[in-house]
Structure 1
Amino acid sequence: MGTSTELEAPQYSHMRDISSASDATVVPQRNTTPEHPVRTKEPLRTSISRFIIWVFVSGGTLSLPAMVVLCFVPILGLFVLPAVACLITALVYGVSHLAYLLLAQEDAPPRRTLPFVTWSWSRCLRVDRAVFMYLREGFRLFALYVGDWFYRKIAGAKVSVKSNIHYGSPRPNMRLDVYVPLNSDGPTDANARPTIVFLPPQLRFLPRGRILFSSLGRNLASQLECIVVIPDISTYPSGGRIPQQMEDTRIVLRWVAEHVTRYGGDARKVYLAGHGQSGLLALLVPVQQAVVQARDLEELGKGKEVPNGLRDLSIYAREVLVPDIAGIIMFSGIADVDRHIIYESMQGVHNISLVRRICGPTQKTSLQHSPNHLLYASRNFDVKRRLPQKFLLIHGGLDQSVEHIQSEMMKELLRGISVTDVRLSVYEEIGHWGIILGLMGRMRGSTSRAVTNQLFAFLHD
């Protein structure tokens, strides 16, 4: 059983000065949204290499069990055992190279001939470990989706779903789904329900993540007695980096403010939620706006000196007016991009991760997309009153994808600027996907029930 602990957060000694960070790219001007990268045509040699390695890894994985059995056959085993050792070694390289060919070619270092892969044995092992971990969680996520589909067919729906609603993104085919409890009275309900806008994390090769998280929307709407909105958000590389994702998020929030009342929701009680990198997105939207507005007020009022790093900061898609957000819910979220990239480098997976590509690629842009660093740099400004006044940070103590210190530091910084309602829970026996998968699995288990109770109290206090 996972237990929740509230940990003492460390101090700010690791915080970098944004103004001194290296910057190899041009910082976007204020009130503009940078253009997303253009995806260049993939070299033929990369496609051929990927196909060859895919065939080898598939065939080698299927033949390995039979070869292991043959190792126990007298005499024959003497010849098969070296072949098994060679095959395992080749598969260690093959799996990591396949991961690089699938995930690491965007924004890769310049290569003259061969595609970008790693030949470090230790890094290959770490990449293989990450691949198997994500495959395991991916199968669990898919199984929950299929199980939820069959469950709804047998037990019937408890939630009404309004799906495929265009919300106004400038990018094509961006839609959202609204999950409404069946006992909701619609716009005439005097006790309008709170609304959770859950930003689905980007999953490789699945540009429409909202569909995979449909069981999460149904469960949250049913158990928490709230309206749940799950939108499509731009994905890298076709849809752009974090500026385009933040623009989509702001447009979604505007849509919610204008339309949620017709579904029985309260436009004054909108909570923005996310998991992992989408947790960063949910946090950065209000933090960036609050910091820039507080900075502009300081400049106009000739107040405290503005750090150089904050002078370049802008609100992405500022022309999209968004309502006040009642609170932030962050599941295993990233709050310090720079620290997370260093952590991924130590894990050996930074080249196949999306975080550096979406939030970077330079150190300066990574810091400017880090809520922790923005709050620390603006700690002497009047940021508090421009932020949501409620924060719920939930993290797994066994999370090997995002350190739980990310949430702990976020809590410390928010408390440091006098945000009083900051709730942090670290569930000691839960990994990166455990909390979300538990909430998707019809709330079974003590940890899922504890998280559900936390969410209910947070929404209805």
Structure 2
Amino acid sequence: MATNGQGGGGIISGWVATFLRVSLLPVICIGAPLWPIVGLLCAVPVIGIFAIPLFLLLTLLLLYSVAWFSYLLLAQADPPASSKQGTFAPYLPFLPYSPLRCLKINWAALLYASSAVKVALPAVLDWSYRRVMVLGTQGGGGIVKENILYGSSSPNKRLDIYLPPSAPASARTGATSSTSASVRNRKHSTNFAEPLPTPPIDDEQATPRPGNQSPGRARSPVVIVVPSPIPPLTWTQRRKTYLQLALRLRRMGYCVIVPDISWYPEGRIKTSIVDLRLVLRWAAANCKRYGGDERQIYLLGHGMSAHLAMLTLTQEAVVLSREGFLHKQSEAQSKREQLVNWDNRNEDDQDETITAATQRNGRHNNGSYPYGSSSSYAAVASTPVHVPGTQAPEAEENAWVDEPGEEDLPPGAVMNGNENIDQLGRTRGGRGLESFDNAPGNESGISNISFPSSSWPPQNGDHSTNGQSLSNIPTSISNGLRRVEIYEPEINVPPIAGIILLAGVFDVIKCFRNESDRGVEHLSVLRRSCGPSHTSCLLHSPAHLLYAAKNILDTSLLPPRFLLVHGGKDAVVDVSQSTLLKTLLSGIGVENVKLRAYRELGHVEAVASLFLGMGKASTRYSKQILSDISDFISAK
């Protein structure tokens, strides 16, 4: 009966939501243009007596109409459990009733609409022109190869590859058209997990030369542009939307790959990560035939896609570092057990020798051993051996706070409130990850945290055992860090030469708290995609993973170079996200981390400035950002 009631409530709730959508849309379309006119009439004598009550009523009506319409579009999937508590709650859609929350949503909607008008309209007009007049011609086949399956389990997930000017003639003339046709005729994209057969090449071309260049033709760096979702404009997450960006990067001489990625609500973050891993595997196996260099693969992401790119690579680095660290521990434990066994066996042999000597000499030599006391061997075997940069056993609980008992911690916290982070003196007073940019005297938002450089962190898998008693070493990996896993580890990810992150989300908890302050946390897909639980958000937060694994992380498993671009006027993702990531990466030993912060740059403008055909309002920093990217990729 309970199930039927819930089912009936869901149906009624859907009907009510549909009715409200149809009713509120004309109210917004008519009321929004009338609102300033009625406001002006309030200042007219006599007429103002009647206009003021009408103005107040229209203001209240628009306040709730805009907020409710936004919730009906974006907040009905996975609403919080508290929204269904009450007698009539199961029969009503999830809506805001607080005037203050509605006011915050209206302000966010106004900023969103202004950005859409300023960015989206010029982009759509220019996109239509280039789609028809450039790619729609016969020469368009020599610019882009479209609709290539890469193996995603989600339906209709394909990628487009924009050929660099130095692409081989076989790629331009469509030498792979027959193969592509056979692939497109398959019913399921999951059948296409293997790379396409490469065109035949002679032995001379098959022999690579130093300097990332083949004898016959110089190959171009590969830039994989990961689309980013910007609700409610779902088309922003489709690969075709990034045509102007891809053409811009192609003009710069790069081989550009733009894939479709599964985003929420199609799937949660795990599905997105698996899709990106498949794209990276496909790119490494196939980019060479299109003129790309598989040894120079770069990732470019914006907002949520920057988070996805960073999380995918961080997950793999953390898990592989953890397994290597545990393997070292296992070897050390095995050596210790061998030493103790040898000591016990040697002690028995010495007892027999002393007994025989006593019988011959008529005395026991006061029970002494020729090489000192037998306990000295056990003392040597049990001497604490210290691991540089690892935490002491008693401080292990401080490494991660995603345990069930820590759910009530403030969002963004990594440490318990009154405890030191570790024994290396990096911070004192219990400041967590979320307070890096709130430290006293640090108004810039960049942490003044310091990291020792002599023996920390371990490089190239060199996890020596010098920090704890060998019997206690296995406890140095916290339970939270043990939960981190690589999704679909059988999908091999190639080495990434560098990663370009535009206005990215790196601390999920902190970003969610920022969304809560702005009143849009129910409209955003961040928490629902990465969570929804607090523990799941921690496990899918690159900043938290890097911080929790800072003592064991092998930085050679991360990309060697990072370029972070962020704007001071970013009202969606605060610039502190990038400053925090730069602090963490520099702290764990990544040497080439470059942060480029532009004071007047907004969130959408960070990526729109790279598009062709945009207006002046969106291209203020185009030359600087394009120069940053060019210098970043060309640097060796």
Category of TM-score, reference length = shorter chain = 0.7 to 0.9
Inter-partner Cα distance in structure 2 for 1:137 and 1:167: 33
What secondary structure sits across from 1:301 in the alignment? Answer: helix
User: Does 1:225 pair with 2:203?
Assistant: no
Map Cα deviations across residues 126-163 of structure 1 (whole Å, 9 max, x no partner). Answer: 11121122223233134213224326766898981212
SS of equivalent residue, structure 1 residue 229: strand
CA distance in structure 2 between the aligned counterparts of 1:108 and 1:257, rounded to whole angstroms: 40
Amino acid at match of 2:73: L
Return the letter of the residue paired with 2:310. L
Q: Which residue of 1 aligns with 2:336?
A: none
1:286 paired to 2:265: no
Partners of 1:446 and 1:348 lie apart in 2 by 30
Find the aligned partners of 1:65 and 1:344 in 2 and give their Cα distance: 29
- Asked if the contact 2:166–2:291 (Cα under 8 Å) also holds between the matched residues in 1, the reply is no
1:130 maps onto 2:130 in alignment = no
Alpha-carbon shift at residue 112 of structure 1 (Å):
2.2
Out of 124, 143, 147, the position equivalent to 1:160 is 143
Give the whole-Å Cα distance in 1 for the aligned partners of 2:110 and 2:227.
22
**Pick from 25, 28, 34: which aligns with 1:63?**
34
Q: Are the equivalent residues in 1 in contact too, given 2:123–2:613 (CA < 8 A)?
A: no
Tell me the equivalent position of 1:449.
Answer: 623
Q: Write the distance in 1 (CA, Å) between the matches of 2:16 and 2:133.
A: 49
Q: After superposition, give the CA deviation of every residue in 1:166-188 in whole Å (9 maximum; x if it has no partner).
A: 11101100011112234434687
Equivalent pairs counted in the alignment come to: 420
Instruction: Report what 1:430 is aligned to.
Output: 601
The whole-number CA distance in structure 2 between the counterparts of 1:154 and 1:65 is 41
Name the aligned partner's letter for residue 175 of structure 1: R
The 1-side partners of 2:326 and 2:527 are apart by 31
Contact 1:332–1:394, Cα closer than 8 Å, also in 2:
yes
Q: Which residue of 1 aligns with 2:71?
A: 100
Tell me the residue number matched to 1:5.
none
Matched, 1:117 2:95: yes
Question: Does structure 2 retain, via aligned residues, the 8 Å contact 1:145–1:215?
Answer: no
SS at match of 1:271: strand
Letter paired with 2:328: G
Identical amino acids, percent of aligned pairs: 36
* Aligned twin of 2:239: 210
Which one-letter code corresponds to 2:35 in the other structure?
Answer: L
Q: TM-score, normalization: structure 2?
A: 0.63
Counterpart in the other structure of 2:272: 245
SS of the residue 2:545 aligns to? helix
Structure showing greater radius of gyration is 2
SS of corresponding position for 1:135: helix
Please say if 1:174 is aligned against 2:201: no
1:46 aligns with 2:17: yes
Query: Is 2:560 the partner of 1:386?
Result: no
Q: Equivalent residues in 2 for 1:73-88 (5 A)? A: 74-88=45-59
* Bigger mean CA deviation after superposition, 55-64 or 255-264: 55-64
Give TM-score, length-normalised by structure 1: 0.86
C-alpha distance in structure 2 between counterparts of 1:87 and 1:349, whole Å = 23
Aligned equivalent of 1:299: 326
- The structure with higher relative contact order (CA 8 Å, sep 6+) is 1
My pick for the range that moved more, 149-158 or 345-354, is 149-158
SS at structure 2 position matched to 1:440:
coil
Q: Secondary structure at the match of 1:329?
A: strand
Match of 2:590, SS?
A: coil
C-alpha distance 183-267 of structure 1, shift in aligned 2 (>3 A): closer
In structure 2, the CA distance between the partners of 1:143 and 1:170, relative to structure 1 (3 Å rule), is same
Cα deviation for residue 300 of structure 1 reads: 2.1
Measured against aligned partners, the alpha-carbon deviations of 1:337-384 in whole angstroms (never above 9, x if no partner) come to 011111111111111111001111111111111111111111111420
CA RMSD of aligned residues (A): 2.2
> Which deviates more from structure 2 when the two are superposed, residues 336-345 or residues 304-313?
304-313
The Cα of 1:62 is off from its aligned counterpart by 3.9
| Residue aligned with 1:181, SS | coil
Greater than 6 Å deviation, 4+ residue runs: 154-159
Partner amino acid, structure 2, of 1:412: T
Bigger shift: residues 279-288 or 174-183:
174-183
**Correspondent of 1:344 among 515, 533, 555:** 515
Query: CA 1:334/1:76 → structure 2, altered by over 3 Å: closer, same or farther?
Result: same
Matched, 1:327 2:504: no
Alpha-carbon distance in 2 for matches of 1:195, 1:376: 30
Shift of 1:71: 4.2
Q: Secondary structure at the match of 1:236?
A: coil
Residue 255 in structure 1 maps to residue 282 in structure 2: yes
Higher mean Cα deviation, 188-197 or 402-411?
A: 188-197
Separation in 2, partners of 1:420, 1:119: 50
Give the direction of change, closer, same or farther, for the CA distance of 1:51–1:446 in structure 2 (3 Å limit).
Answer: closer
Q: 1:11 is matched with which residue?
A: none
Residue 234 of structure 1 deviates from its aligned partner by: 0.5
Say whether the 8 Å CA contact 2:165–2:250 is kept in structure 1: no
Task: Give the 3-state SS of the residue equivalent to 1:213 in structure 2.
Answer: helix
Task: Measure how far apart 1:281 and its partner are.
Answer: 0.2
**1:293 partner amino acid:** L
Letter in 1 for 2:482: R
Q: 1:81-127: CA deviations, max 9, x gaps?
A: 21022101210111011111111111112232322111222221211
Deviation track 1:232-278 (CA, whole Å, cap 9, x = no partner) reads 110211x2110000000000111111111111100111111110011
Give the Å deviation of 1:74. 4.7
Cα pair distance change 1:176/1:138, threshold 3 Å: farther
Q: Aligned to 1:391, what secondary structure does the other structure show?
A: strand
Mapped contact 2:319–2:484 kept (Cα < 8 A): yes
In the alignment, the residues of structure 2 paired with residue 323 and residue 362 of structure 1 have an alpha-carbon distance, to the nearest angstrom, of 31
Query: Aligned residue for 2:182?
Result: none
SS, match of residue 84 in structure 1: helix
- Which 10-residue stretch deviates more, 337-346 or 317-326? 317-326
State whether residues 145 and 214 of structure 1, in contact with CA within 8 Å, keep that contact through their aligned partners in structure 2.
Answer: no
CA distance in 2, matches of 1:309, 1:91: 46
Give the residue type in structure 2 aligned to 1:51: V
Letter in 2 for 1:184: A
**Structure 1 portions without partners, runs of 5+:** 1-39
* CA deviation string 1:50-77 (max 9, x = no partner): 2222232223224335534554655333
